[in-house]
């Protein structure tokens, strides 16, 4: 019995020492269907928006980016279910255009690499993935909304049916 207690104590001490030496490599901040949102994705997009001179405070930007990511992952999951794909040519054209603009703003490729703390290959890969996802989301939204028709009279009826004190 005394040996078991000693063994358990030793194991707990070893577990405590190994946990203290560990580092968090990646944090998951959200999951939508089969799609995962990582903290690094949110932070990377915040950095990109700041590079594009977005005046929004960082905390509000994080919230907006996280909300956008949730919606995007919802559409990406639906696109996976519906087998929606986009053409690589349109993604590459937009990728080249955006990279050229980013390099122009940064002053050079080296300055851009320093700013993002990534190589040009990594920046290109991340931007390609982001643009591909954007195109897929747009295509999914179009597919969902293609058969929706609303007339101005229907909109007017809807808003007049809402009590005035419930409207902003």
List pLDDT tens digits, range 36-88: 999 988 998 898 888 778 888 999 999 999 999 999 999 999 998 889 989 99
Mean pLDDT, range 137-152, rounded to an integer: 88
Beta carbons of 77 and 71 less than 8 angstroms apart: no
Angstrom distance (rounded) from CA 87 to CA 46: 27
The answer to whether the predicted template modeling score (pTM) of the entire model surpasses 0.95 is no
pLDDT at 120 (0 to 100): 94
What lies within 8 Å, CB to CB, of 126 at 6+ separation is 44, 118
Angstrom distance (rounded) from CA 73 to CA 125: 19
């Amino acid at each position: 019995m005394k040996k078991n207690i000693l063994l358990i104590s030793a194991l707990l001490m070893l577990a405590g020492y190994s946990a203290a030496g560990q580092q968090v490599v990646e944090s998951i901040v959200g999951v939508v269907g089969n799609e995962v949102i990582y903290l690094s994705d949110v932070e990377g997009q915040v950095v990109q928006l700041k590079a594009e001179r977005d005046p929004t405070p960082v905390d509000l930007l994080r919230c907006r980016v996280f909300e956008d990511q949730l919606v995007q992952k919802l559409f990406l999951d639906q696109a996976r279910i519906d087998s929606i794909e986009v053409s690589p040519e349109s993604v590459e054209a937009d990728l080249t255009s955006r990279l050229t603009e980013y390099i122009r703003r940064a002053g050079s490729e080296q300055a851009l690499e320093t700013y993002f703390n990534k190589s040009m290959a990594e920046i290109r890969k991340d931007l390609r993935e982001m643009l591909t996802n954007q195109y897929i989301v747009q295509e999914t939204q179009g597919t969902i909304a293609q058969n929706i028709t609303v007339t101005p009279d229907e909109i007017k009826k809807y808003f007049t049916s809402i009590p005035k004190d419930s409207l902003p």
